[in-house]
Amino acid sequence: MAKVLSMILAGGEGSRLYPLTQSRTKPSVPFGGSYRLVDCVLNNFVNSELLRIYVLTQFKSQSLNQHLDKAWELCSITDTFIDAIPAQMRMGKHWYSGTADAIYQNLQFIESDDAELICVFGSDHIYKMDIRQKIAFHEKKEATLTVSAIKLAKEQAYRFGIIEVDGEGRMIGFVEKPTVEEAKTIPGDPDHVLASMGNYIFNSNELQKELLRDAALETSSHDFGKDIIPYLYPQGKVFVYDFTTNTIPGEKDAPYWRDVGSIDSYWQANMDLIKSEPPISLYNSKWPMHTYYPALPAAHFRNSDDSNCIIRKSQISDGCFIKGATIKKSILGFNCFVEQNSTISHCVLLGNTKIGENCKLIKVIIDKNVSIADNVQIGINLEDDKKRFTVSDNGIIVIPKGARIGF
């Protein structure tokens, strides 16, 4: 795999995840108790033995950089690395204007490398992929560009690039974020579309040539979905990789993929982890999910004088202290303290949270360093909650980082 160079786009602002992105970039948002969103794609590359990786950062990247330094340092003796590359205005006095421009502004790293293939992946999706299998498909088809795709409900078409493909896997149509009415459905399946997953494999020479061509166009938005793919696919060398064919050692279920671009999808992706039969596993030793673990004691559960500690279908991280409280279908990050007679249901706590006695929280996402006083109820009366907090379309309440509630 030395012939492969990987570039991860990790500069996303993540405005639809606000206020979780109020002080951090989207790939740095905590997920699943112990992880960050960026960990999913990094684990895919590391488990695929692709260990030459640049992570391109931009918006509010401090927490992301700290996480990469702590969790993803590789040995410098061999030719392996995971390096964060901040936006540096190398090609003019402007930040990245699109996904293609982000790669173009860092073209020197590709030009100075002997890699034959360049992987360009996003960092804000939850999934597992053995990228070696996609590389094998790309080489077999002798493709210029290979785009991963997945079947989604037609109602979601407006959020993705929608693909048409022939019987050989060649792309014959592509529209970036069409309206639901305009989206081309899968032949014989009018309820579904074939959507781009936003990750690509390019032949290095072709990518360099295309980035230079696109950069010279004043009318281009310099984006892979809006500009690069529509220009390349009519030439007949763009192929589509069916994500459902990808297999992970130790797992038999169909591949799972979820875009976490909104509060609702982020909450649902967390809830998926604690289902009776999770569609994506964090416990497969043949595909380990690495991240940074701080030096903390194991989670502790203690009955109080007048209430028992009850934990049901939940995931509790190290450093948590639960005293006589009930935790149901929730995920708690590091260092969460919950006092007696409180009930936490269908919630996601990102970490360093203190919840007092006799509280009741339902469908709440709590960012880090939040303190909640005794006798506070959130998620019981949405109309009242909307006056105080961010509430999603599906009624998920978000409490921002550092908030003090009820004091």
Token digits of residue 254: 């169909």
Q: Let me know whether 268 and 308 are in one domain.
A: no
Comparing C-alpha atoms, which of 117, 129, 120 is closest to residue 11?
120
pLDDT mean over 86-103 = 77
- What is the pLDDT, as a whole number, of residue 265? 96
264 has a pLDDT exceeding 90: yes
Average pLDDT, the chain: 93
Please list, in sequence order, all residues whose beta carbon lies within 8 angstroms of the beta carbon of residue 236, skipping any fewer than 6 positions away.
170
Spatial separation of the C-alpha atoms in residues 28 and 5, rounded to whole Å: 22
Local confidence band at 73 (pLDDT 50, 70, 90 cut-offs): confident
- What is the pLDDT, as a whole number, of residue 280? 92
- What is the pLDDT, as a whole number, of residue 307? 86
- What is the pLDDT, as a whole number, of residue 1? 60
Whether 125 contacts 169, CB under 8 Å: no
The per-residue DSSP string of 54-116 comes to EEEE-TT-HHHHHHHHHH-PPPSSSS-EEEEEE---TTSSS---SHHHHHHTTHHHHHTS--S
Q: Let me know whether 337 and 267 are in one domain.
A: no
Q: Which of the 8 DSSP states describes residue 4?
A: E
Q: Tell me whether residue 279 is in a domain.
A: no
Whether 354 contacts 407, CB under 8 Å: no
Q: Tell me whether residue 292 is in a domain.
A: no
More confident residue, 97 or 19: 19
Q: Tell me whether residue 357 is in a domain.
A: yes
Local confidence band at 33 (pLDDT 50, 70, 90 cut-offs): very high
- What is the pLDDT, as a whole number, of residue 74? 82
Q: Let me know whether 62 and 102 are in one domain.
A: yes
- What is the pLDDT, as a whole number, of residue 252? 83
Expressed as residue numbers, the domain containing 165 is 4-272
Local confidence band at 306 (pLDDT 50, 70, 90 cut-offs): confident
> Residues of the chain with pLDDT > 70: what percent?
97
Q: Tell me whether residue 284 is in a domain.
A: no
Q: What is the CATH number of the domain that holds 379?
A: 2.160.10.10
Q: Let me know whether 223 and 315 are in one domain.
A: no
300 has a pLDDT exceeding 90: yes
Q: Let me know whether 212 and 163 are in one domain.
A: yes
Whether 352 contacts 366, CB under 8 Å: no
Q: What is the CATH number of the domain that holds 21?
A: 3.90.550.10
pLDDT in tens, 181-237: 999 999 999 999 999 999 999 999 999 999 999 999 989 999 999 999 999 999 999
Instruction: Indicate the range of 58-67, 161-170, 257-266 predicted with least confidence.
Output: 58-67
pLDDT mean over 383-397 = 95
- What is the pLDDT, as a whole number, of residue 379? 96
Local confidence band at 304 (pLDDT 50, 70, 90 cut-offs): confident
- What is the pLDDT, as a whole number, of residue 96? 79
Local confidence band at 91 (pLDDT 50, 70, 90 cut-offs): low
Spatial separation of the C-alpha atoms in residues 295 and 297, rounded to whole Å: 7
Q: Let me know whether 258 and 334 are in one domain.
A: no
Q: Let me know whether 240 and 325 are in one domain.
A: no
2 has a pLDDT exceeding 90: no
User: Total structural domains in the chain?
Assistant: 2
